[in-house]
Structures are given as structure tokens and as C-alpha cells.
């Protein structure tokens, strides 16, 4: 963890300085940027493991910047937002989000959870999961439907693989947060995180997302892969 490189992108100097100073005390390598143009230049030179990215920037949006960065590398993105609904950020590939105003300790825990997920994948060769026309390859981290590659974000893949690896099991949302995201959160915010990702996966793998055949909703509980 100590060697992880983090880029903090926020146009508010108070937030930028507070976050960078706090994280530097935990031995992360830190760089900062106040706008999208500067962030891309630093991004190319610094090659961060994780970008803490404000949703609103003076010259672009955090969503556009997230999309651009992840088109270049597999960088992890933690979005900072004042909005309660993180849906669009997840669609663009963000790995997690923190709502402003936020607690620095909570931010630190989210960062550690993201980096832990990234580094705990390991090198074990795992068996592909095959369910009819759906193939999930955990080694290449690829999903195919009727022979066509399905583009999933890193978290979408992790969530789908978690569900599909134990078909028939009903997972509570809090269990999925712990298993896939690496932290506990029983708030409505945590529920939305799961629901947003499930909705995006369904759009990509279900013939009819409104009447899913793979990922079933278990009322008052969570989700189950059939």
C-alpha cells in the first residue's frame, strides 16, 4: 500500500491540499492537479495507481476525464461528488465514490479497499464459468455473450463473477459490498452502489434487462445468479 501513487484532481484548493496532505502522511506518493488539462499532463508523467477525481472541474467534467484516463490505462478512479446518485460516474468507469462533505478517515478506508481489491486478484489460473451463451473468463477478466465480447468495468466484472461463481445463492447487498468493494455500508448510499452496478450489468448481458434471466432480484434481500 505504501508505494501506491495517487493523483488528486480538484479545483478547490482547500480540498486538494487537505486530501493530499492527509494521504502523504500515510506514505502514498502524491501529485495534485486543479483542472482537467493539468490532470492529463500529470497523469501521463506520474502514471498513478489511483485518481481521486472531483466530478466538477472548470475546464471539463470528472466523467469525461475518467473516461479519457481509463482509455489510456487501467487506472482506478475514486469520484468525489456532491450528488447523491453515483449512477453516471459508475457508468463511465469509476470504481467508487465519496459524497462531499466527507470524512478523511472514510476516504482513506475507501482508498485502501480499492487498492486491496486490485492487488489481491493473484496469479492463480481460475476456471471459466459457462452458462449457456454466457462465458466469464476470470483469468483474462473477459465476458462473452454468444461469442461477442461484453465490455464491463472492473467492478462490474468483479460483481458478476462473485454472483456467477455461486449460482443459486441469494446475496444480501451488504454482503456484496463487503465481498466486492471490501468495506461495510448498510446505508441507502451503499444500497444504491449495488443497484446501479446490477442495472448496468443487466443492460449488457440480459436479452431483456427488465425481465432478467441471469441476475434475479431476491425481494427484501438482494440478488441471485440463476
Distance between CA atoms of 51 and 77, rounded to whole angstroms? 5
CATH classification of the domain holding 64: 3.40.50.2300
Residues 12 and 52 in one domain: yes
27 in a structural domain: yes
At 94, list the grid cell: 469509476
The answer to whether 52 and 24 have CB atoms below 8 angstroms apart is no
The answer to whether 163 and 224 have CB atoms below 8 angstroms apart is yes
Per-residue pLDDT 10s for the chain (226 aa) are: 447 899 999 999 999 999 999 999 998 999 999 999 999 999 988 889 899 999 889 999 888 898 888 877 778 899 888 765 556 566 667 888 888 888 999 899 989 988 887 654 444 457 889 999 999 988 778 899 999 999 988 888 889 999 999 999 999 998 898 888 877 766 767 678 889 999 999 999 999 999 999 999 999 899 999 8
Residues 88 and 144 in one domain: no
Domain span including residue 173: 129-225
Residues 111 and 55 in one domain: yes
- Give the other-Cβ count within 10 Å of 201's Cβ: 25
Q: What is the pTM of this model?
A: 0.58
- Give the other-Cβ count within 10 Å of 4's Cβ: 21
162 in a structural domain: yes
Residues 163 and 113 in one domain: no
Residues 110 and 169 in one domain: no
pLDDT at 123: 42
Rounded to 10°, the helix 36-46/62-72 angle is 20
Domain count within the chain: 2
pLDDT at 1: 41
pLDDT at 220: 86
CATH classification of the domain holding 137: 1.10.10.10
124 in a structural domain: no
Q: What is the 3-state secondary structure (H, E, C) of the chain?
A: CCCCEEEEECCCHHHHHHHHHHHHCCCCEEEEECCHHHHHHHHHHHCCCEEEEECECCCCEHHHHHHHHHHHCCCEEEEEECCCCCHHHHHCCCCEEEECCCCHHHHHHHHHHHHHHHHCCCCCCCCCEEECCEEEECCCCEEEECCEEECCCHHHHHHHHHHHCCCCCEEEHHHHHHHHHCCCCCCHHHHHHHHHHHHHHHHHHCCCCCCCCCEEEECCCEEEEC
pLDDT at 2: 44
Alpha carbon 139 to chain centroid distance?
A: 19
pLDDT at 10: 95
Residues 111 and 158 in one domain: no
pLDDT at 101: 86
Residues 10 and 80 in one domain: yes
Amino acid at each position: 500500500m505504501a508505494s501506491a501513487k495517487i493523483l488528486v484532481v480538484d479545483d478547490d484548493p482547500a480540498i486538494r491540499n487537505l486530501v493530499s496532505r492527509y494521504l502523504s502522511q500515510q506514505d502514498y506518493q502524491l501529485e495534485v492537479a486543479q483542472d482537467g488539462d493539468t490532470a492529463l499532463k500529470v497523469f501521463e508523467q506520474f502514471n498513478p495507481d489511483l485518481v481521486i477525481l472531483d466530478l466538477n472541474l472548470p475546464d471539463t467534467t470528472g466523467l469525461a476525464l475518467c473516461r479519457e484516463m481509463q482509455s489510456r490505462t487501467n487506472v482506478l478512479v475514486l469520484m468525489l461528488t456532491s450528488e447523491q446518485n453515483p449512477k453516471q460516474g459508475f457508468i463511465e468507469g469509476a470504481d467508487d465514490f465519496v459524497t462531499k462533505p466527507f470524512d478523511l478517515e472514510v476516504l482513506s478506508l475507501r482508498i485502501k479497499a480499492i487498492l486491496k481489491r486490485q492487488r489481491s486478484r493473484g496469479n492463480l489460473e481460475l476456471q471459466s464459468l459457462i452458462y449457456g451463451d454466457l462465458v466469464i473468463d476470470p483469468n483474462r477478466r473477459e465476458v462473452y455473450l454468444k461469442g461477442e465480447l461484453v465490455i464491463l468495468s472492473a467492478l462490474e466484472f468483479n460483481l458478476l463473477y462473485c454472483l456467477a461463481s455461486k449460482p443459486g445463492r441469494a446475496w444480501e447487498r451488504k454482503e456484496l459490498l463487503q465481498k466486492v468493494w471490501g468495506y461495510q455500508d448498510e446505508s441507502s448510499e451503499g444500497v444504491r452502489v449495488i443497484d446501479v452496478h446490477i442495472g448496468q450489468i443487466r443492460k449488457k448481458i440480459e436479452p431483456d434487462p427488465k425481465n432478467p434471466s441471469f441476475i434475479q432480484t431476491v425481494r427484501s434481500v438482494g440478488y441471485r445468479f440463476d
